[in-house]
Structure 1
Amino acid sequence: MAKSIKPLSTTQVSKSKPQDKEYSLGDGNGLLLRIKPNGTKSWIFNYTHPVTKKRKNIGLGVFPDITLASAREKTREMRQLVAEGIDPKTHRDNKLVAEQLAVEDTLKTVAMEWFELKRDSVSSDYADDIWRSLELHIFPNLGQLPIRDILAPTVIKQLRPLEQQGSLETVKRVCQRINEVMIYATNMGKIEANPLADIKQVFRKPKTMHMKTIEPKNLSFLMNAMSKVNTKMATRCAFEFQLHTLTRPVECATAEWSEIDTDKRLWVIPKEKMKMKRDHKIPLTDATLQLLEFMKPISFGQQYIFPSSKTPSSHMNSQSVNAVIKRAGMAGILVSHGMRSIGSTALNEQGFDKDAIELCLAHVDQNTIRDIYNNAEYLEKRRNIMAWWSDYILTASFNANTIAKPTPA
């Protein structure tokens, strides 16, 4: 028959005195008060390991910080774990590790982990834009919070002022990016579920804004306006080069001399720079070769064809051409990215092969195999298309002072 242990009283615990040797007082159910010679009184739970069946001790704290009532409650919890086949010490150690990781896994640290993966799948400029938006709109107030404490109401409150300012497109982008961070955290086991799923639904939606552009028939007006505006010659040349090559602003601004093959009359933009993450080959026309010749005295020998005027080792700002277009009186009428639409409309109206036009614009076919096939098959077709487009621009520039000129017959 098991020995009956009389429960301790608070008075007994308080008045127990140290002895020459450490000794223990039992309270029953495995709870012990261990009293050391120096007077320290510690609560111990003695139990049988549910798997090994060996006797083990686990500390519950020091008296009087942990009262008799608290020690008994902790003992009750430990006994419950043992009854469920769980070792209390292992359970507590795991909980402490989880809590420590939760403190270390702040929103910003997890976002940094996610960003290291994300940046490999997007252009460097787009990656910079992603991180800058989080630094501006999320991290200042939420960055140091544990990832598990990030809840929808907290993020909504953070983004409401942006919505009230009318920055709806920014709100939409930030919602998308913070969602990606939380999905990453879920997949990594840092949180059990993403609490921000569909958070964008609680904000007003931005109105779809079509890229501002002009009809091809109005190209002569643009060329005349641009030839009269006061700007640096390198920027004027970049405007013409971007128009002739049908590239995006950032692709033109970051063009490098190493990407140009004048013998093959080809500009190959590496996939790391492209929106769709594949190499983009652009046939060079007589006009684009003229523009490159114009830039040689300015930047040949440097990395970038269109260098920054302030930092020659860097490239021109991708919005420089856009700024000149505005100064030329085209604000609200045309943006530099919209020049691609002028070319697309003109080429389609002329009846060129639609697949070849799409490749000229670096619009990638979703079927990768077909895309590679088309890239090879349509290169010669694209040379003819780009030559026609350059001639079209030069014809529209007959009254304008441009850098590229028609090649004498």
Structure 2
Amino acid sequence: MAKKVIPLTNTQVKQAKAQDKEYILSDGDGLQLKIKTTGSKTWVFKYSKPFTKKRSNIGFGVYPEVSLAQAREKRKNARELLAQDIDPKTYKDEQQLKQQEIHSNTLQVVAENWFSIKQSSISPNYAKDIWRSMELHIFPSLGKYPVASLTAPVVIAVLKKVAKEGNLETVRRLAQRLNEVMTFAVNTGLIHANSLSGIRAAFEKPAVKHMATIKPEELPELMQTLNASNLQIVTRALIEWQLHTMTRSNESAKAEWSEIDLDKKLWIIPAERMKMKREHVIPLTKQMISILSVLSSFKRPYCPYLFPSNRDPKKHINTETVNKVLRRIGYHNRLVAHGFRALASTTLNEQEFNPDVIEAALAHVDKNTVRKAYNRAEYLKHRTELMTWWSEHIEECAKGSLSVTASVVNAKFG
């Protein structure tokens, strides 16, 4: 008959002294206190492994950091695991590994992994803006937080500092980016749920700021002002090209000769250069072709761009050139380059052109959406009609002699 073990008392544990040899005090049910010759006392739980029944043991910590009551609680938990055929030592190792993974997956580490994928689908400038905002506002306070430990109140407290400076648009963008990081963490199995999904509701919505533009009736004044300004030919051509084509600054300034198909009278902008990452086709009007004729005088074999930089002819003109010119000629806070698109949209809608065709001309919708109503030939026909009317309207507002092509001809350039 097995000898019954009398449970230990707190006094016994406390007064146990070191001896010449290491010895053990038993508390029963596998729990032992090992007293070493140095005087240190360690809790050990001895048990039989599930299935194999091999003898094994697991440490429960050092006394007095782990008290007798705490050691008994650990024994209880271990025996409950054994009742489920779970090895407590294996379970402990797995839990420690999970904790290590949790603490190694900090917000900054997970954000870096998310960003490595995100940046492949966005422009370099946008990628730079995203990462800079995280470095500036998020990582200093939250970068070392494990994503599993992030809570909405903690993050909201950090974003409130940004909101106090009046940067509500920045707060909106940061909230969006943090949610993308947390969704990435969910999708990669690091966390079970996104704890930050509702943080945007804690802040006011930023006021919508429309790009500064002019009224349709103010276009003649703009054309006259441009004509009276001392602008380089390439700069003036860029302004009118962007106005006629209704494109964004990046798309116009980086336009390449290889994208121009004069035979078909099309400008085909590849998907990688478009904001929505979809190829955009623009029918070329006679006014656009005239601008191209002017630009051909500046065409060089070593430069692929329609609008070469004045400082480095191998590169394209600065994408902010049009905005700088508009500020310089008196349109500060009245008109920006992107406002050309709003001006075109307003004018064309007032002329009752099909809204879907207008949106397609602005590259706001996929051309396939428009083709629900038009086949390819009809689609290009309607796009061409719209672009032709818009170019002729600009020319009319310029009163003929005020367009860049007329200015060049009058100057007998090239």
| TM-score interval (norm. to shorter) | 0.7 to 0.9
Show CA shifts across 1:101-123 (max 9, x none): 12221112211222233334444
Deviates more, 1:228-237 or 1:173-182: 228-237
Change (3 A) 1:400 1:36: farther
2:326 maps to amino acid: I
How far apart are the structure 1 equivalents of 2:211 and 2:191?
40
- In structure 2, the partner of 1:107 is 107
- In structure 2, the partner of 1:348 is 349
How far apart are the structure 2 equivalents of 1:291 and 1:394?
12
How far apart are the structure 2 equivalents of 1:238 and 1:5?
94
Which structure 2 residues correspond to residues 2-401 of structure 1 after superposition, within 5 A? 2-8=2-8, 9-10=12-13, 13-18=16-21, 24-34=24-34, 42-50=42-50, 52-62=52-62, 66=66, 68=68, 70-296=70-296, 297=298, 301-307=302-308, 315-365=316-366, 370=371, 377-398=378-399, 401=402
How far apart are the structure 2 equivalents of 1:16 and 1:303?
88
Show CA shifts across 1:199-222 (max 9, x none): 112212222233332232221111
Task: Show structure 1 runs of 5+ residues with no match.
Answer: none
Deviates more, 1:299-308 or 1:219-228: 299-308
Percent identity between matched residues is: 47
Show CA shifts across 1:247-278 (max 9, x none): 12222233233322333322211222323321
Change (3 A) 1:163 1:63: closer
Show CA shifts across 1:65-90 (max 9, x none): 65555543432332233335432222
Deviates more, 1:25-34 or 1:180-189: 25-34
Show CA shifts across 1:144-178 (max 9, x none): 22112222222222222332222222211221121
How far apart are the structure 1 equivalents of 2:135 and 2:372?
37
How far apart are the structure 1 equivalents of 2:5 and 2:395?
104
Show CA shifts across 1:354-384 (max 9, x none): 4333221112149659469655541233223
How far apart are the structure 2 equivalents of 1:311 and 1:287?
27
Q: CA deviation at 1:311?
A: 6.1
How far apart are the structure 1 equivalents of 2:99 and 2:332?
55
How far apart are the structure 2 equivalents of 1:405 and 1:376?
32
Q: Is the 8 A contact 2:168 2:206 kept in 1?
A: yes
Q: CA deviation at 1:339?
A: 0.7
Q: Is the 8 A contact 1:18 1:38 kept in 2?
A: no
Q: Is the 8 A contact 1:244 1:393 kept in 2?
A: yes
Corresponding residue SS for 1:32? strand
Corresponding residue SS for 1:15? coil
1:168 maps to amino acid: L
Change (3 A) 1:100 1:272: same
For normalisation by structure 2, the TM-score amounts to: 0.84
Structure 1 vs Structure 2 CA RMSD: 3.3
How far apart are the structure 2 equivalents of 1:377 and 1:113?
46
Change (3 A) 1:315 1:80: farther
Q: CA deviation at 1:226?
A: 2.5
How far apart are the structure 2 equivalents of 1:312 and 1:406?
23
For normalisation by structure 1, the TM-score amounts to: 0.85
Deviates more, 1:80-89 or 1:169-178: 80-89
How far apart are the structure 2 equivalents of 1:393 and 1:369?
25
Q: Is the 8 A contact 1:223 1:396 kept in 2?
A: yes
1:196 maps to amino acid: L
Change (3 A) 1:375 1:18: farther
Corresponding residue SS for 2:17? helix
Q: Is the 8 A contact 1:224 1:399 kept in 2?
A: no
Corresponding residue SS for 1:336? coil
Change (3 A) 1:29 1:256: farther
Q: Is the 8 A contact 1:26 1:32 kept in 2?
A: yes
How far apart are the structure 2 equivalents of 1:299 and 1:243?
24
Q: Is the 8 A contact 2:185 2:191 kept in 1?
A: yes
Change (3 A) 1:368 1:4: farther
Change (3 A) 1:76 1:238: same
Q: Is the 8 A contact 1:124 1:273 kept in 2?
A: no
How far apart are the structure 2 equivalents of 1:372 and 1:34?
85
- In structure 1, the partner of 2:412 is none
How far apart are the structure 2 equivalents of 1:217 and 1:253?
27
Task: Show structure 2 runs of 5+ residues with no match.
Answer: 410-414
Alignment length, in residue pairs? 405
Q: CA deviation at 1:18?
A: 2.5
How far apart are the structure 2 equivalents of 1:276 and 1:246?
15
Deviates more, 1:69-78 or 1:143-152: 69-78
How far apart are the structure 2 equivalents of 1:375 and 1:212?
34
Deviates more, 1:116-125 or 1:95-104: 116-125
Task: Extract structure 1 runs of 4+ deviating beyond 6 A.
Answer: 35-40
